[in-house]
Amino acid sequence: MNAVTRGIRRGLPFACADWLDGVAFGAVAAGFGLGVVAPTVLSATAFSGTAQFAALTVLGQHGGLVSVLVAVAALNARYVVYGLSVAPGLSRNRVKRSAQAQLLTDVSWALSQEGGRPDAQVLTVVGLLELLAWTTGTAAGAFAGNLVGNVGAYGIDALLPAFFACMLLDRTESAGDVGFAAAAGCAAVFLTPILPAGVPLALVLAVAVARGPRP
Amino acid sequence: MTWIVVAAVATVCVALRVGAPLLAHRRSLPPSVERRLQAAIPALLATLVALQLFGRRGDVGIDARAVGTLAAVAVFLRRRSLVLALVAAAAVTAAVRAFA
């Protein structure tokens, strides 16, 4: 079985899930009044669910642009690590190399590592499938969301906090993490009426980075 | 504003993906900075959840979305499926709104 077939076989279930996640993102973005084009362009270029949902919070007046960009950078800092680990397997041509790196996702990275040495073909096939699914899903969701109009009636406005909550469950391992995360959330809520928009999130980020990893 | 946010977020995401492989021979993020950023993520995500649910000025209280989010958490803990969890969030939120 060659790398392309293997990539399609292994990547397809994830692409299906990405398509549905894309629909959810598009619908939420439409609920923020962004239309169809802006969310679709964002999906095609940023290609990162967490980052894009975080971007919606700025547009929803919950945060300033700078603090959200720092949050996006923190949420996606893992791509630097992924990029370094696949670098030896990528094309020597700088343009091709950049295009392959742009297709890095949690899934395409993990699948490309299976053979021991990073497999650029598997990375490309899986990443392309996911990019296609995520972008077309977003367009479909945004289109449907605009048709539906009032997203509140279908509970679509709950997708944003629910998405972040699931990502949080995926990321917390120790009880100390849970306690600190809960405290950070509470602090941000209580600071929101007092401080300008975006400052509570930036403060949490600064304190959390200063706290550093716990053993 | 929309397009500024789109461009800025896209730029950060592309830079993080493409930067390291292009400059692989140079230094990237120091490991200690990388570890600190990773360690900050749970607090960051918790804050995003909290601000989404309770961050509206002068409007602190439980609403239908909080119930929907709890439903998503319950589904995700049992099934580890993001799609199922999101469907549960929307369905429960809509149901609470319809019947409350």
- Cβ–Cβ gap B69/A158 under 8 Å: yes
Question: Where would I find the beta strands (DSSP E) of chain B?
Answer: none
**CB burial of residue B32 (10 Å; 0-12, 13-18, 19+):** exposed
In chain A, residues 14-43 whose CB comes closer than 8 Å to chain B: 17, 20-21, 24, 34, 38, 41-42
In angstroms, rounded to a whole number, what is the distance separating the alpha carbons of residues A172 and A178?
6
Instruction: Please report which confidence band the pLDDT of residue B75 belongs to, taking 50, 70 and 90 as the band edges.
Output: very high
- Contact assignment for A162 to B28 by CB distance below 8 Å: no
Between positions 35 and 64 of B, the ones with CB within 8 A of A are 35-55, 57-58, 60, 64
Q: Are B51 and A200 in contact (CB under 8 A)?
A: yes
Q: What is the mean pLDDT of residues B54-72?
A: 77
List the single range of A7-11, A46-50, A194-198, B6-10 with lowest mean pLDDT: A194-198
Task: Name the least confident of B49-53, B57-61, B70-74.
Answer: B57-61
Cα–Cα distance for residue pair A131/A40, rounded to 1 Å: 11
Provide the residue ranges of all domains of chain B, joining segments of one domain with +: 1-43
B46 and A205 Cβ atoms separated by less than 8 Å: no
| Rounded average pLDDT over A203-207 | 86
A201: tokens are 């999130």
- Per-residue pLDDT band for B62 (boundaries 50, 70, 90) equals low
What are the Cα distances from residue A204, in Å, to A39, A67, A189, B96?
Answer: 27, 10, 11, 31
What pLDDT was estimated at residue A139?
97
Give CA–CA dist A32/A55, Å, rounded: 11
Nearest chain B alpha carbon to A61:
B56
**Mean pLDDT (chain B, rounded):** 83
| pLDDT band for position A205 (cuts 50, 70, 90) | confident
The per-residue pLDDT for A181 is 92
For tokens 């789109």, what's the residue?
Answer: B6
Q: How confident is the model at residue A150 (pLDDT cuts 50, 70, 90)?
A: low
Give the highest mean pLDDT range of A141-150, B8-17, B54-63, B77-86: B8-17
Stretch A145-173: mean pLDDT, rounded?
Answer: 79
Distance from CA of A106 to the nearest CA of B (A): 11
pLDDT at A141 over 80: yes
CB–CB of A142/A134 below 8 Å?
A: no
Tell me how far CA of residue B83 lies from CA of A8, A25, B28, B76, B80, in angstroms. Answer: 21, 11, 34, 9, 9
Contact A47 B39 (CB under 8 A): no
Question: Is B46 within 8 Å of A78 when comparing Cβ atoms?
Answer: no
Q: Which one, of A48, A109, A92, lies nearest residue A74 by Cα?
A: A48
* In chain A, % of residues over pLDDT 70: 93
Domain boundaries, chain A: 3-155, 172-215
Handedness of CA B13, B15, B20, B21 (dihedral sign): positive
**Chain A residues lying within 8 Å of B42, measured CB to CB:** 168, 171-172, 177-178, 180-181
SS (H, E, C) chain A: CCHHHHHHHHHHHHHHHHHHHHHHHHHHHHHCCCCCHHHHHHHHHCCCHHHHHHHHHHHCCCCCHHHHHHHHHHHCCHHHHHHHHHHHHCCCCHHHHHHHHHCCCHHHHHHHCCCCCCCHHHHHHHHHHHHHHHHHHHHHHHHHHHHHCCHHHHCHHHHHHHHHHHHHHHHCCCHHHHHHHHHHHHHHHHHCCCCCCCHHHHHHHHHHHHHCCCC
Can you tell me the mean pLDDT for A96-124? Answer: 87
Confidence at residue B58, expressed as pLDDT on a 0 to 100 scale:
47
Is pLDDT at B1 greater than 80 in this prediction? no
Q: How far apart are CA A95 and CA A126, in angstroms?
A: 19
Q: Which amino acid is at B44?
A: L
Average pLDDT across chain A, whole number: 85
